[in-house]
């Protein structure tokens, strides 16, 4: 790292909410320990997994906070409590929210911070996403959000244009933001705990593109785990429409729009708020349909997915000259499918792979547990 990069990284605070995931935290501590950022871990587990307070590291300022979930407290109630507590801890110029099993690449971080520090007209930066799936000591890498490409409309000065172009495709939930924007987004999104845990996160997604003029970079920034096992805390429940909650949703967006453009007309504010609420409802309905599909339909989808993956694996094993001949006979739209199946390549991939397969005993020893 150059002195300039160290200076920029020292202006970044990362908030990591977690719940009963000590192994993921041990990896997170190992990853961030030598990078000069500030990290606050906010744990909702019934008992703390680490000693509360500062965690010894050689570069980062890592602090562990315990906010245990109470006996009758819903998971999202405690999650919102931890998010709000995390927002209150941010004292730096830039900030980010991060899941306990996700990471930011160092190169992506430096690129994002350089952009934010050099351009006053940018509030948030997002970039390419790679996913990893652990099979013992084997790691499967995949590309994610391939439709995230640079888009000038996302960073337009006009709130009207940003709202018009928010169709649920992009989100800054796991991006690098100016601190005041991140705090505003998550404080508003977590003032009320909705009956469906997905809603609070979707509110933050759409508030993000409302508050932030957003730059999309070509570099890999976000490394995300694709888990084979569902987190039991996130058990899906089909959401019944709640008119009172829809009114609260509308008020959240209406207040945010007033905060950004105080002189906007009541009619336009109502239209924009209704658009945001509709996007959230459509996303929930789409998810509900997916989860409520029949077992047979799910089995069929799984078989088709495995067949496609098998064919793609065979294709990638063929010689390059044969691939070229085959590709010439394939419609151009399928070229993107081929590219999507190629594993992602980024600067710190080897180091990341070593971290993910490192023996737990070594992780615990280095984390001073």
Task: Kindly state whether residues 161 and 219 are assigned to the same domain.
Answer: yes
Record the pTM.
0.86
* Phi, psi values for residue 333, rounded to 5°: -65, -20
Task: Decide if pLDDT at 337 tops 80.
Answer: no
Task: Kindly state whether residues 249 and 107 are assigned to the same domain.
Answer: yes
Task: Kindly state whether residues 184 and 301 are assigned to the same domain.
Answer: no
Reduced to 3 states (helix: H, G, I; strand: E, B; else coil), residue 7 is helix
Identify any residues that bridge with 215 across adjacent strands, giving them in sequence order. 125
Residue 142 counted as domain residue: yes
Task: Kindly state whether residues 194 and 322 are assigned to the same domain.
Answer: no
Task: Kindly state whether residues 173 and 301 are assigned to the same domain.
Answer: no
| Residue carrying the six token digits 């997170």 | 28
Task: Decide if pLDDT at 334 tops 70.
Answer: no
Instruction: Summarize pLDDT for 84-142 with one digit per residue, the tens.
Output: 999 999 999 999 999 999 999 999 999 999 999 999 999 999 999 999 999 888 999 99
Instruction: Summarize pLDDT for 21-36 with one digit per residue, the tens.
Output: 999 999 999 999 999 9
Residue 270 counted as domain residue: no
Task: Kindly state whether residues 173 and 230 are assigned to the same domain.
Answer: yes
Residue 272 counted as domain residue: no
Task: Kindly state whether residues 353 and 324 are assigned to the same domain.
Answer: no
The CATH number of residue 105's host domain is 3.90.550.10
Which alpha helices (DSSP H) does 129-265 contain, by range?
159-164, 179-189, 197-211, 243-260
Task: Kindly state whether residues 318 and 209 are assigned to the same domain.
Answer: no
Task: Decide if pLDDT at 43 tops 60.
Answer: yes
Residue 205 counted as domain residue: yes
Task: Decide if pLDDT at 315 tops 90.
Answer: no
Task: Kindly state whether residues 217 and 304 are assigned to the same domain.
Answer: no
Task: Kindly state whether residues 205 and 304 are assigned to the same domain.
Answer: no
The CA radius of gyration of the chain, in Å to the nearest whole number, is: 22
Rounded mean pLDDT of 329-348?
74
Task: Kindly state whether residues 68 and 111 are assigned to the same domain.
Answer: yes
Structural domain including 325 reads: 295-329
d(CA 241, CA 327): 47
Burial status of residue 80 (CB atoms within 10 A of its CB: 0-12, 13-18, 19 or more): buried
- CB crowding 307-326: b at 16 or more within 10 Å, else e: eeeeeeeeeeeeeeeeeeee
Number of structural domains found in the chain: 2
């Amino acid at each position: 790292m150059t002195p300039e990069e160290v200076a920029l990284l020292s202006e970044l605070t990362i908030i990591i909410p977690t719940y009963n995931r000590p192994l993921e935290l041990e990896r997170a501590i190992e990853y961030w320990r030598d990078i000069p950022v500030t990290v606050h871990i906010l744990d909702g587990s019934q008992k703390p997994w680490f000693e509360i307070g500062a965690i010894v590291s050689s570069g980062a300022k890592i602090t562990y906070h315990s906010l245990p979930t109470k006996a009758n407290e819903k998971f999202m109630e405690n999650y919102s409590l931890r998010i709000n507590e995390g927002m209150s801890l941010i004292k730096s110029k830039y900030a980010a929210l991060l899941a306990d099993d996700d990471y930011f690449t160092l190169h992506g971080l430096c690129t994002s911070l350089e952009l934010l520090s050099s351009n006053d007209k940018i509030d948030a930066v997002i970039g390419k996403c790679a996913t990893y799936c652990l099979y013992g000591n084997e790691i499967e890498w995949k590309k994610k959000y391939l439709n995230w490409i640079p888009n000038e409309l996302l960073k337009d000065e006009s709130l009207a244009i940003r709202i018009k172009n928010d169709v649920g495709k992009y989100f800054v939930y796991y991006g690098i933001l100016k601190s005041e924007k991140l705090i505003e987004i998550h404080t508003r999104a977590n003032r009320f705990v909705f009956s469906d845990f997905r809603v609070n996160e979707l509110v933050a997604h759409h508030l993000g593109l409302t508050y932030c003029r957003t730059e999309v970079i070509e570099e890999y920034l976000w490394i995300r785990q694709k888990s084979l096992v569902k987190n039991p805390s996130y058990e899906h429940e089909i959401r019944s429409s709640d008119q009172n909650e829809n009114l609260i949703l509308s008020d959240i967006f209406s207040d945010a729009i007033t905060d950004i453009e105080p002189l906007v007309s009541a009619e336009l504010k109502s239209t924009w708020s209704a658009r945001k609420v509709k996007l959230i409802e459509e996303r929930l309905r789409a998810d509900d349909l997916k989860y409520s599909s029949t077992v047979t339909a799910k089995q069929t989808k799984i078989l088709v997915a495995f067949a496609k993956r098998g064919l793609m694996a065979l294709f990638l094993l063929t010689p390059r000259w044969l691939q070229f001949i085959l590709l010439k006979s394939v419609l151009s739209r399928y070229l993107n499918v081929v590219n999507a199946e190629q594993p992602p390549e980024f600067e710190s991939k080897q180091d990341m792979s070593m971290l993910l397969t490192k023996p737990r005993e070594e992780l615990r020893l280095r984390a001073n547990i």
